[in-house]
Amino acid sequence: MTPNTAGQLPAPAAERPHHRFWPNRLPHRISPPATSLWFNLEVSARRYPDKPALVFFDRVCTYREWFDQSERLAAHLQAQGVRAGDRVILLMQNCPQWAVAHFAILRANAVVVPVNPMNRAEELRHTITDPDARLAIVAADLAPELVRANAELPPAQQLQHMVVAHYHDAMGPQAEVPPAWHDWLMQRHDLPALPNGTVVDWSAALACTEPAPLHDRTPEHLSVLPYTSGTTGLPKGCMHTHASLMHNAVAGSLWTNGSAENVSLVVVPMFHITGMVVGLHSGVYTGATLVVMPRWDRELAGQLISRWRVTHWANIPTMVIDLLASPNFASFDLSSLKSIGGGGAAMPQAVAQRLYEQYGLRYAEGYGLTETAAPSHNNPPDAPKQQCLGIPFMSADARVVDPDTLQEMPVGEAGEIIIRGPMVFAGYWKRPEATEAAFVTFEGQRYFRSGDLGRVDEDGYFFITDRLKRMINASGFKVWPAEVESLMFRHPAIAEACVIATRDDYRGESVKAVVVLRQAARGQTTEQDIIDWCRDNMAVYKCPRTVAFVDALPKSGSGKVMWRLLQEQEATQAAGKRA
């Protein structure tokens, strides 16, 4: 793998404005352990063998049990032909099996390919073929969709083996499941058939009696390949090493006063880089207790915080807004919370003020990308600014530059945010041109181009102002219009489609599709027809909430769709409605 100069530890920098607000107890930069991520679980299992590690409804998994299960599953992976550096798909909602499988893949010297459980067959095909995956660990409710995607591939590209897990196998008899989740969580599925391959149940995989392989991974080896969409084309795999995730796991723990006494609510999806690093790896590094939620449910969240005396909660602001709006909110005890924060969307000032006045909690927003093993920025816990990205994170350097000239912008003026530090990824999987385009040389050093426009205030705090990339932010989920358009073009009634953002009071932004129908479909295809088809063929957060039919899309002289014009028209209409 190509050495990642952007990931090297920056040289000590001169005192910068934000250092005045740096937590006094912390250094500006750290030297993370020179070990693999697997070693963190091994250490915590040796230190705290009988301590609750994973809490899932009414069942507790100790660190010893977590370690032992990951060892057994790693042995099964090796027995099925997984070798060092192989990519293994992990497709589940948050659950103990996700955490066990994640570390089992690392233990087997392989690479985790975390997949969004909302993805449909159209999207899953790329997840199989691009990383050249031959084995998947998947939840039973999601297995049929993965099998459907797999069946549409040539035999040489198909999966060879699947391990299938049921969520309720990690739950006890007293589990209090939200009524709407009962069928989803408690249903027993038959094992699917995998043409040209084999399928085993989770329990059978853990019964493997073969020895686990010798673990030989070092910091520079590839550990995780999460996929991120871009402005054009199909999603790209972000190559993260053990070192890049290790840095932010350790730094995240230090930043939030991490210790083995922490109890974290893990509800941000672990397939997402934030849930994986901040929720999973930081907790394992410190030996914390992780209270795992498979999806968001405000009543369940309130109950779990109260019952388990949760101290740390990383979230998306819409979760906090939803919890505070619960009619049962008065019955929840949030007094145990010591650290609360998140990103993906700005926290409304009124909500942040209520948290502070009622609980003394300062909501600390952060910022990061899949490419930076989120975060690259965070607000100091004792001096956060509202609706602000924060300051460059530990060991990181970030600047705001003119996107064309790469000259650093003056205080208060907008430009592109560029980032350098040990948390920055090694590059895009099998995409050398995209990798090269993602980096620039600034002051003799290699920086990652975030594609986000921001500004820096006189205190050195960063604020986002716009996006160079064409991206929609729906409740913290990043939606890339080019990917949605690519999927929509497969609808037989659609001749052209342009996807833009529309204002949403709750989600911040939602997806809107401006569609030109084929002549034969006009008057025959409805907005709901398009929406229903999208829900069947893509993750629900990507689906258009509204569809507008037009006779033609506006185009430039070169024939390119003028999406900016449509976006501006949408913004003008939204402003008129608010007025």
3-state helix, strand, coil in the chain (%, to 5): 35, 25, 45
Question: Are the CB atoms for 398 and 390 separated by under 8 Å?
Answer: no
Q: What is the dihedral of CA 408, 409, 410, 411, to 10 degrees?
A: -110
Strands of 368-420 (E only): list them: 377-378, 391-392, 397-401, 415-420
Write down all domains in the chain, each with its CATH number in brackets: 5-27+399-466 (2.30.38.10), 63-217 (3.40.50.980), 472-578 (3.30.300.30)
Token readout for 519 is 């002549």
Decide if 157 contacts 129 (C-beta within 8 A).
yes
**Do 430 and 238 contact (CB within 8 A), yes or no?**
no
* Local structure of 502: helix, strand or coil: strand
CA dihedral for 155, 161, 167, 169, sign (positive or negative)? positive
Query: What per-residue confidence (pLDDT) applies to 181?
Result: 95
Q: How far apart are CA 45 and CA 61, in angstroms?
A: 11
Alpha carbon of residue 98 to chain centroid: 14
The reported pLDDT for the residue numbered 574 is 80
Contact 18, 461 (CB under 8 A): yes
Phi-psi group of 248: left, alpha or beta (phi > 0 → left; psi -120 to 50 → alpha; rest → beta)? alpha
10-residue stretch averages of pLDDT, the chain, 579 residues long: 46 74 95 97 98 97 98 98 98 98 98 96 95 98 97 96 97 93 92 95 97 97 90 84 98 96 97 96 98 96 98 93 92 96 84 90 94 96 92 97 94 95 98 96 96 94 82 83 86 92 85 94 96 94 95 78 88 77
Give the list of residues 6+ apart from residue 349 with CB closer than 8 angstroms, or none. 386, 387
Query: Nearest-5° angle of CA 522, CA 528, CA 529?
Result: 60
Cβ-count burial of 252 within 10 angstroms (0-12 exposed, 13-18 middle, 19+ buried)? Answer: buried
Cis peptide, bond prior to residue 375, ω within 30 of zero: yes
Residue with tokens 């920086």: 447
Strand-pair category, 111-114 with 135-139: unpaired
Closest C-alpha among 499, 494, 498, 488 to residue 518 = 494
